[in-house]
Structure 1
Amino acid sequence: MCGIVGVVSAAPVNQLIYDALLLLQHRGQDAAGIVTQQGRKFFMHKAKGMVRDVFRTRNMRALPGNAGLGQVRYPTAGNAFSEEEAQPFYVNAPFGIVLVHNGNLTNALSLRNELFQTDHRHTNTDSDSEVLLNVFAHELERATRGVPLQPEDVFTAVRAVHQRIKGSYAVIALIAGHGLLAFRDPHGIRPLAMGRSQDGTVMVGSESVALEGTSHVFERNIDPGEAIFITLDGKVHARQCAENPQLNPCIFEFVYLARPDSVLDGISVYQARLNLGEALAKRVVSTVPPNEIDVIIPIPESSRPSATQLAHLLGIPYREGFVKNRYVGRTFIMPGQGVRKKSVRQKLNVIGSEF
């Protein structure tokens, strides 16, 4: 469950990608990376840590170009402590491809064996994102067969990826000298949205907040199974590449993971949390007499909309029982239960009088 962003513009994109990653920092804080493209050459910087720590002025100056992509990582597969598994990932053939991925592949192990034995491609980490990149690269090579790359070739490769890969994946890839590709799995488990700025810059990102916070107007969501290919002059090509696409988004996005000011697949995250409060009110009334409840206390921060709605519907006072230290990072995405327990103790402090 990472945060990803891709941009095609007529102006340098390094600062724009950095700003978008800051807006997506809640989706991953283990590592961050940016790739830009100038001509046919990629420029990359990635490392473990938060966005503000990974990118210094000297790093930003070394990222020229008018197209690029970036990622903030929450490691759900592979090694959480390996800097090699920070994204983006790169392969030099065909054309040269860099890729960022948000999701989890459930058949990564069998695919890794298949890549080695059948496709003769090597993966150097335990990351399922590197597997996904190599599957796509292999299928793109088969689709083009050495002829000049056309958008339809890219869509043919994505169709083959859908047939081989199982799991959740929102993907943004940059093909050297050609353009930016974005696609979602046939169930649309992980979100992906596209927007455009007044100067014609096209941005694709995990959440609408990344678009709005960088002065882009939300245009639409990438549909489940759909792929869009943005040429370097900003022209957008779109194609449905899955046989039976059906939207089945991850509920955890709405319960906890996404920012409340985002809209995912037409659903306001904030409104979804209010609705969860309504559903919870019905459950509470059927199991606990409301007169036995003293107060409603949320455990910050994502539960606040649900708790306020619950308190309103039950007519019970809403109180704050915990104070959050905002200088401690998001705890559920920290690697290791020991680190999480220690960080929660530092992050939340009880207001004893409320209890």
Structure 2
Amino acid sequence: MYQGIELDKLKEECGVIGIYTEDSNITNMLCFGLLALQHRGQESAGVAVAKDGEIDYHKDMGLVTEVFDDDTIESLNGNIGIGHVRYSTTGESYAYNAQPLVVQYRKGSFALAHNGNLVNADTIRDMLEEDGVVFQTSIDSEVIANLIARYHKFGIEKAIRKVMEILKGAFALSVMTEDKLIGVRDPHGLRPLCLGKIDDGYVLASESCALDTIGAELVRDIEPGEIVVIDKNGVKSIPSNKWCKKNMCIFELIYFSRPDSVLDDINIYNFRKRTGKVLAKEYPVDADVVISVPDSGNAAAIGFSEGSGIPYAEGLIKNRYVGRTFIQPSQELREQGVRLKLNVLKENIEGKRVVLVDDSIVRGTTSRRIVNMLKKAGAKEVHVRVSSPPVKYSCYFGIDTPNRQHLIGAVKPVEEIKDMINADSLGYISIKGLIESTGREEGYCLACFNGDYPMEVPKNKE
């Protein structure tokens, strides 16, 4: 993963895609879709395709462009396929943990790509190992695959339904058999999954931006607990057989999703702009210019500018070509890592009172470095505004959060955080203001802010 500026961000999850067509070779489309989802994971990438009753696959460590070349794409022919980009939240970052997982079982074979995290994966894994099941990876996705294979006698659709009754946690799945593409979303809808239409088939994807990239039209979001089966007969929906309160991860809107995506009918860019406007109302300040921590803070900063009447300008320029494995062996080089990733546009901030808008503060270390960079470049004052509430609790559903003792919002009050990051003032959007920005009254998991988890979670991370 990137070092430097991303050290103070919550880490991405994973991205999944699936395509079903009647007679096209879809490997190119799968790779284009994964490129659109690359922000969701940069550790590994893979695709699996089916044609004439056979499943073939390729996966490896690295970005999509590093894993796939023309020859590899040419060798993978099929009319059904799934793909995955990974950031590991469970299981080490090794090639054998890359997805999709391809499983041989008594009734044939299937492939599975998973975004999310199970809270009961260890318990299920122990049970399966006691029964003699041998695991090839250390990821919880293999637990899901083994359970599906375990219930093979019921057929793939009923097997998945039975597995959903056992799993606890977050999961958006793209599953492929030799003749079907299946999408699954967990009963709480914690992780996103949408359905799109192309000329001769259908697409499943974590975000609608992947649909746009391959020329598909967004049809709708998969409902919480829903199973969607796509085959030669079209699309069949199997709704959830139990009611759960919808709890989509709010950080999908705040940070993880691309601003050009639409999740559960919410335009991500417009949501982020609204958070900025709410911030300007909740924490007004006398200042000369509003700038953002690019890129995820851009829309909120524009919203803050519109809400406050303070002009918006670029104050930090992001270098987009820093390598993923930049090594920082010393404190001095870690400080340089922020300057390598971000550089101050001195002309826009020198001698001015600056409002710096960011989407979140996790540890606070990078925020301090950025504030100090701005002041060293001549900013008279730096007022930090954050478009999410303080992150106080760990996540167990597919976001790689530090232990609570490393979450600055959990261990320090706002005034102490202000002093630690050397800001002249600090304001976080309220939970009420955040929900107001969605345009809805409920439907989101806010556990990282208030500790109200949608299900029982282990305590070892607290």
**1:58-102 deviation line (CA, Å, top 9, x unaligned):** 11121011111101111111102x110110112101421110001
Q: How does 1:235-254 map to 2 (within 5 A)?
A: 235-254=234-253
Q: Any idea what SS the aligned residue of 1:245 has?
A: coil
Matched, 1:188 2:189: yes
Matched, 1:128 2:165: no
Matched, 1:228 2:228: yes
Q: Any idea what SS the aligned residue of 2:236 has?
A: strand
Q: Any idea what SS the aligned residue of 1:218 has?
A: strand
**1:155-187 deviation line (CA, Å, top 9, x unaligned):** x223222221111110001112x3111100001
Contact in 2 for aligned 1:186/1:242 (Cα 8 Å): no
Change (3 A) 1:43 1:343: farther
Moved beyond 3 Å, runs of 4+:
334-345
Residue 166 of structure 1 aligns with which residue? Answer: 168
Contact in 2 for aligned 1:43/1:62 (Cα 8 Å): no
Q: Any idea what SS the aligned residue of 1:297 has?
A: strand
Residue 302 of structure 2 aligns with which residue? Answer: 308
2:322 to 323, 328, 331: 328
**1:309-345 deviation line (CA, Å, top 9, x unaligned):** 112211222232211112236x7xx899979957544
Counterpart residue identity of residue 225, structure 2: G
Q: Any idea what SS the aligned residue of 1:186 has?
A: coil
Q: How many Å apart are 1:297 and its aligned residue?
A: 1.6
Task: State the TM-score, normalizing by the size of structure 1.
Answer: 0.88
* Unpaired stretches in structure 1, ≥5 consecutive residues: 145-152
Contact in 1 for aligned 2:18/2:205 (Cα 8 Å): yes
Q: How many Å apart are 1:42 and its aligned residue?
A: 1.2
Contact in 2 for aligned 1:328/1:343 (Cα 8 Å): no
**1:213-233 deviation line (CA, Å, top 9, x unaligned):** 2111111111000001111x2
Contact in 1 for aligned 2:50/2:177 (Cα 8 Å): no
Tell me how far apart the structure 1 counterparts of residues 340 and 304 of structure 2 sit (CA, whole Å). Answer: 28
Tell me how far apart the structure 1 counterparts of residues 45 and 248 of structure 2 sit (CA, whole Å). Answer: 25
* Unpaired stretches in structure 2, ≥5 consecutive residues: 1-12, 350-378, 380-462
Tell me how far apart the structure 2 counterparts of residues 308 and 61 of structure 1 sit (CA, whole Å). Answer: 44
Q: Any idea what SS the aligned residue of 2:223 has?
A: coil
Matched, 1:33 2:32: no
Q: How many Å apart are 1:18 and its aligned residue?
A: 0.9
Tell me how far apart the structure 2 counterparts of residues 213 and 70 of structure 1 sit (CA, whole Å). Answer: 15
Matched, 1:91 2:106: no
Contact in 2 for aligned 1:202/1:234 (Cα 8 Å): no
Task: State the TM-score, normalizing by the size of structure 2.
Answer: 0.68
Q: Any idea what SS the aligned residue of 2:182 has?
A: strand
Tell me how far apart the structure 1 counterparts of residues 38 and 296 of structure 2 sit (CA, whole Å). Answer: 15
Tell me how far apart the structure 1 counterparts of residues 257 and 78 of structure 2 sit (CA, whole Å). Answer: 30
Tell me how far apart the structure 1 counterparts of residues 168 and 217 of structure 2 sit (CA, whole Å). Answer: 32
Q: How does 1:122-161 map to 2 (within 5 A)?
A: 122-139=134-151, 141-144=152-155, 154=157, 156-161=158-163
Change (3 A) 1:71 1:305: same
Tell me how far apart the structure 1 counterparts of residues 326 and 201 of structure 2 sit (CA, whole Å). Answer: 36
Residue 202 of structure 1 aligns with which residue? Answer: 202
Contact in 1 for aligned 2:291/2:301 (Cα 8 Å): yes
Q: How many Å apart are 1:136 and its aligned residue?
A: 2.1
Q: How many Å apart are 1:14 and its aligned residue?
A: 0.7
Counterpart residue identity of residue 251, structure 1: I
Contact in 1 for aligned 2:328/2:337 (Cα 8 Å): no
Contact in 2 for aligned 1:69/1:172 (Cα 8 Å): yes
Q: Any idea what SS the aligned residue of 1:71 has?
A: strand
Q: How does 1:273-292 map to 2 (within 5 A)?
A: 273-285=272-284, 290-291=285-286
Counterpart residue identity of residue 341, structure 2: K
Contact in 2 for aligned 1:159/1:242 (Cα 8 Å): no
Matched, 1:23 2:23: no
Change (3 A) 1:351 1:51: same
Counterpart residue identity of residue 187, structure 1: H
1:296 to 285, 290, 297: 290
Counterpart residue identity of residue 227, structure 1: I
Tell me how far apart the structure 1 counterparts of residues 141 and 61 of structure 2 sit (CA, whole Å). Answer: 16
Q: How many Å apart are 1:127 and its aligned residue?
A: 0.7
